[in-house]
Amino acid sequence: MQVLVTGGAGYIGSHAVKVLLSKGYEVIVVDNLATGHVEAVDDRAKLYIGDISDEVFMDKVFKENDIKGVIHFAAFSLVGESMTNPYKYYENNVSKTNKLLKSMVEHNVLNLVFSSTAATYGEPEKTPIYESDAQVPTNVYGQTKLAMEHMIKWYGSAHGLNNVALRYFNVAGALEDGSIGEAHNPETHLIPIILQVANNKRAKISIFGDDYPTKDKTCIRDYIHVLDLCEAHVLALEYLFNGNPSDNFNLGSGEGFSVLEMIEAARKVTGHPIPAEVAPRRAGDPAVLIANSDKARKVLGWVPTRENIEIMIRDAWCWEQNKRY
């Protein structure tokens, strides 16, 4: 069965391609390479380089293949950049998704798994966060993802587009063999930056704020291994193929780790002292983000197997040392 992965050359998309292939799916990738890497795309996938908003190009993709479902990752995802350039985020994330959905409906491809985010919840009133909690984004990136969720729902009622939105918490790790992994430019995420220090590419890690209302005063996040995350995407797609109703699911571990705990775990995994210094808070960072993902476990039958931050750091460390793009 053929599945289209948009953004399949990106960090999460390239891992999803691997997981889909391992389960016997034929994978079509569409990526405009704005932030993706050709080297990240498995050779067994059929790669189309182009834009999801190019209707002529997408007609060709849908006509040349027999696509039964789409996993839509293609998006910009830098919170800081989104705050200074909202046009770029609304144009790339919202407008282009609108075009993709139009093409899907025209070609009668009516199963969609959408890459959403914890950023749609904004500053939570309580933890853990449930799917039914208020979605009040505090940054443009989260707002565009929420707009995309809403757009998809309306296509659902208007055109019968069956959809699942997966709201991820903090994605980490890499393929175990270190052949693909996270490669953002600029890199803003905690684990890759810590590991660049361990790899002597940076002098130290800055801890953004040590005055939060948490056990050690640094921010707490819920980390999930990218391969566990991708397994959930395949389960969500199969859930739709089996005729189940459209829904939203949180994807996280339900456990929170502070910035200091992550640095300590990385010291243990890498054996490097990883110098750290306290810096001012980063604007817009909630103190604690922890998911309740019981629904994904119960309804999708999701069983994450890498819920240990040392495994995530170990795999990301293997990638950091083998990085080829």
Residues annotated catalytic, as ranges = 141
Residue 248's CB is within 10 A of a number of other CB atoms, namely 19
Instruction: Name the residue whose CB lies closest to ligand UFG.
Output: 219
Name which of residues 99 to 118 contact ligand UFG (CB under 6 A): 117-118
Q: How far is the CB of 196 from ligand UFG (least distance, A)?
A: 10
Of the residues 73, 141, 155, 257, which one makes contact with ligand UFG according to CB under 6 A: 141
278/299 with CB nearer ligand UFG: 278
Does 292 participate in binding ligand UFG (rule CB under 6 A)?
no
Does 240 participate in binding ligand UFG (rule CB under 6 A)?
no
Does 93 participate in binding ligand UFG (rule CB under 6 A)?
no
Structure tokens that stand for 131 in this block:
């799917």
DSSP-assigned letter for residue 227: H
Does 259 participate in binding ligand UFG (rule CB under 6 A)?
yes
What is the rounded distance in angstroms from the CA atom of residue 219 to the CA atom of residue 135?
20
Q: How far is the CB of 201 from ligand UFG (least distance, A)?
A: 13
Does 140 participate in binding ligand UFG (rule CB under 6 A)?
no
- One character per residue 193-232, x = contact with ligand UFG (rule: CB under 6 A): x-----------xxxx----------x-x-----------
Q: How far is the CB of 172 from ligand UFG (least distance, A)?
A: 8
- CA atoms within a 13 Å half-sphere pointing along the CA-CB vector of 202: 18
What is the rounded distance in angstroms from the CA atom of residue 94 to the CA atom of residue 112?
15
Task: Name the residue type at position 35.
Answer: T
Does 88 participate in binding ligand UFG (rule CB under 6 A)?
no
Of the residues 22, 95, 108, 188, which one makes contact with ligand UFG according to CB under 6 A: 188
Residue 203's CB is within 10 A of a number of other CB atoms, namely 9
Helix (H), strand (E) at residue 115: strand 111-117
Instruction: Assess contact for 57 and 50: CB atoms under 8 A.
Output: yes
Would you give the distance in Å from CA 44 to the centre of its chain? 22
Instruction: Assess contact for 226 and 11: CB atoms under 8 A.
Output: yes
Of the residues 28, 190, 288, 312, which one makes contact with ligand UFG according to CB under 6 A: 190
Q: In Å, how far are 104, 180, 197 from 201, measured between CA atoms? A: 43, 19, 6
Where along the sequence are the contacts to ligand UFG (CB under 6 A)? 77, 79, 117-119, 141, 170, 188-190, 193, 205-208, 219, 221, 259, 282, 285
